[in-house]
């Protein structure tokens, strides 16, 4: 089997809440998502997706995806897409870095591999563990009272895990965490995620002020060194996200005992091939994981569900249902939350079918 054609689509996905805000004044009003379609000489077609959370979150931006694939794609024509490791290494050979560019291509290859094998991707990743995977809900940065109201509303939708966006001034962030923590139920989990928005002295003030609350602290500072300083003086369980951008960073952080859990964003590692390696290292090292991506539709959500559902349940800290943040669904048979949890699709490959009428014309065509 060979890759015959690579098609790239751009689609703007409206947000259910109208906007999404997080630390340092960052905000987006819609997802600028890129869909990749890989066609083979044997008629199998695979899909992948990547959707950066704006241009100022990770070192990734939406237009860069399309430009990167235009650069990289010609080197992939003729490769066997079911040889996912070979494709991954070929992408690294011809494009240094830029894992977010490679992620939708890698995802589409896994989709084809699953179809060729006649099984869901979750089977190829080890098999589903348990009935479903618990999802968290990110709560957009706002006034403390409004964030508490938002938590209550999403609790009514079945969520029991909440990621509170913080990362502004010290006093307001303390008030945000305290207000939401005051209304938490015994079976719920609360994470205060600063997305690197605090300086270390601010983070230390906050973790000491909320030390008696049942809350996890996630990525308080921008750099690894700052986070390690805070970690060593904090009593709360610690989660790292942006600082863990590769296997080397993970191994260093584990050696330093820098965190209790990490966030695995598929696109941050360049696709399912490397994300699976990170997942398996975490299982061997006893590190809990949130499995997610920075954004996207039901295509990304399906990939998340396959990786998360095939992860041993004990190591699953959280999971993201990205498509629940949207006011538009572009993929049929995509996972949807039931009682706060999602399950991996059961169809072969990703198990979802993009709505071609919504994708429009390809903006890049290779092959």
Judgement on whether residues 297 and 180 belong to the same structural domain of the protein: yes
- 106 — phi, psi (to 5°)? -60, -40
Residue 288's beta-bridge partner residues?
A: 261
- Note the pLDDT of residue 146: 97
Among 129, 140, 236, smallest CA distance to 189 is for 236
2 is catalytic: no
- What is the distance between the alpha carbons of residues 110 and 120, in angstroms, rounded to a whole number? 10
pLDDT digit string, tens, across residues 70-97: 999 999 999 999 999 999 999 999 999 9
Query: What is the pLDDT of the chain when averaged over all its residues?
Result: 97
Q: Are 100 and 240 found together in one domain? A: no
Task: Express each pLDDT in 110-164 by its tens digit.
Answer: 999 999 999 999 999 999 999 999 999 999 999 999 999 999 999 999 999 999 9
Residue 312, C-beta contacts closer than 8 angstroms, at least 6 positions apart:
129, 283
Q: How far apart are CA 238 and CA 106, in angstroms?
A: 30
Q: Number of folded domains in the chain?
A: 2
Tokens of 50: 């990547």
Q: What is the CATH number of the domain that holds 30?
A: 3.30.390.10
The DSSP call for residue 198 is S
Specify the pLDDT at position 132: 97
User: How many angstroms separate the CA atoms of 312 and 287, rounded?
Assistant: 11
The active-site residue out of 10, 102, 179, 265 is 265
Q: What is the pLDDT of residue 130?
A: 95
Regarding whether 78 and 221 lie in a shared domain, the answer is no
Q: What is the DSSP letter of 128?
A: -
Question: Which has the closest alpha carbon to 318: 305, 330, 329?
Answer: 305
The answer on 263 and 167 residing in a single domain is yes
Tens digits of per-residue pLDDT, 263-275? Answer: 999 999 999 999 9
- CATH number of the domain encompassing residue 314: 3.20.20.120
pLDDT tens per residue across span 169-201? 999 999 999 999 999 999 999 999 999 999 999
* Residue that the structure tokens 């993009």 belong to: 354
Q: Are 217 and 314 within one domain?
A: yes
- Contact between residue 267 and residue 273 where contact means Cβ atoms under 8 Å apart: no
Kindly name the residue from 10, 165, 179, 268 that is annotated as catalytic.
165
Nearby residues of 137 by Cβ (< 8 Å), 6 or more positions away: 151, 154, 157, 159, 161, 162, 163
Pair 98, 144 in one domain: no
Place of tokens 């003030």: 205
Indicate if 98 and 164 belong to the same structural domain. no
Integer Cα distance of 260 and 67 in angstroms: 37
With cut-offs at 50, 70 and 90, classify the pLDDT of residue 224. very high
Domain that holds residue 362: 3-118+354-366
Q: How many residues does the chain have?
A: 367
299 and 155, same structural domain?
Answer: yes
Exposure string for 94-116, b = 16+ CB within 10 A, e = fewer: ebeebbbbbbbbbbbbbbbbbbb
Same domain as 138, residue 96: no
3-14 vs 30-40, strand pairing mode: antiparallel
Question: Do 332 and 198 share a structural domain?
Answer: yes
Q: Is the pTM of this model over 0.85?
A: yes
pLDDT band at 61 (very low <50, low <70, confident <90, very high): very high
pLDDT of residue 109: 99
Query: Does 268 qualify as catalytic in the annotation?
Result: no
348 and 358 belong to one structural domain: no
Nearest by Cα to 337 from 298, 288, 293 = 298
Give the C-alpha separation, 10 to 62, whole Å.
9
Q: Which of 154, 206, 146 is nearest to 185 (CA)?
A: 154
**Tokens 């938590």, located at residue:** 151
Looking at the fold, whether 207 and 103 belong to one and the same domain comes out as no
Question: Cα(17)–Cα(326) distance, rounded to whole angstroms?
Answer: 8
């Amino acid at each position: 089997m060979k890759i015959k054609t690579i098609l790239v689509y751009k689609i703007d996905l409206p947000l259910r809440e109208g906007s999404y805000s997080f630390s340092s004044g960052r905000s987006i009003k819609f997802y600028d998502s890129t869909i990749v379609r890989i066609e083979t000489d044997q008629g199998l077609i695979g899909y992948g997706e990547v959707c950066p959370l704006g241009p100022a979150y990770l070192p990734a931006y939406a237009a860069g995806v399309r430009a990167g694939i235009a650069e990289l794609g010609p080197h992939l024509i003729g490769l066997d897409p079911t040889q996912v490791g070979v494709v991954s290494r070929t992408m690294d050979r011809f494009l240094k870095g830029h894992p977010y560019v490679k992620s939708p291509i890698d995802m589409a290859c896994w989709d084809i591999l699953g179809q060729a094998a006649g099984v869901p991707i979750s089977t190829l990743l080890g098999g589903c563990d348990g009935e479903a995977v618990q999802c968290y809900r990110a709560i957009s940065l706002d006034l403390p009272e409004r964030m508490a109201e938002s938590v209550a509303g999403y609790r009514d939708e079945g969520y029991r895990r909440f990621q509170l966006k913080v990362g502004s001034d010290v006093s307001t962030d303390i008030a945000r965490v305290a207000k939401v923590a005051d209304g938490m139920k015994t079976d719920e989990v609360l994470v205060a995620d600063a997305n690197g928005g605090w300086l270390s002295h601010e983070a230390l003030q906050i973790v000491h002020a909320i030390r008696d609350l049942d809350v996890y602290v996630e990525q308080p500072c921008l750099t690894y060194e700052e986070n390690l300083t805070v970690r060593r003086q904090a009593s709360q369980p610690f989660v790292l996200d942006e600082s863990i951008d590769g296997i080397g960073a993970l191994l260093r952080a584990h050696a330093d005992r820098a965190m209790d859990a990490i966030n695995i964003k598929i696109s941050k590692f360049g696709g399912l091939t490397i994300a699976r390696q990170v997942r398996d290292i975490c299982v061997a090292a006893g590190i809990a994981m949130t499995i997610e991506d920075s954004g996207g539709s039901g295509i990304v959500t399906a990939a998340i569900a396959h990786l998360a559902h095939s992860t041993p349940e004990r190591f699953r800290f959280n999971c993201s249902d990205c498509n629940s943040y949207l006011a538009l669904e572009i993929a049929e048979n995509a996972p949807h939350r039931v009682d706060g949890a999602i399950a991996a699709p059961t169809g072969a490959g990703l198990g979802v079918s993009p709505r071609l009428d919504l994708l429009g014309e390809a903006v890049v065509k290779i092959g």
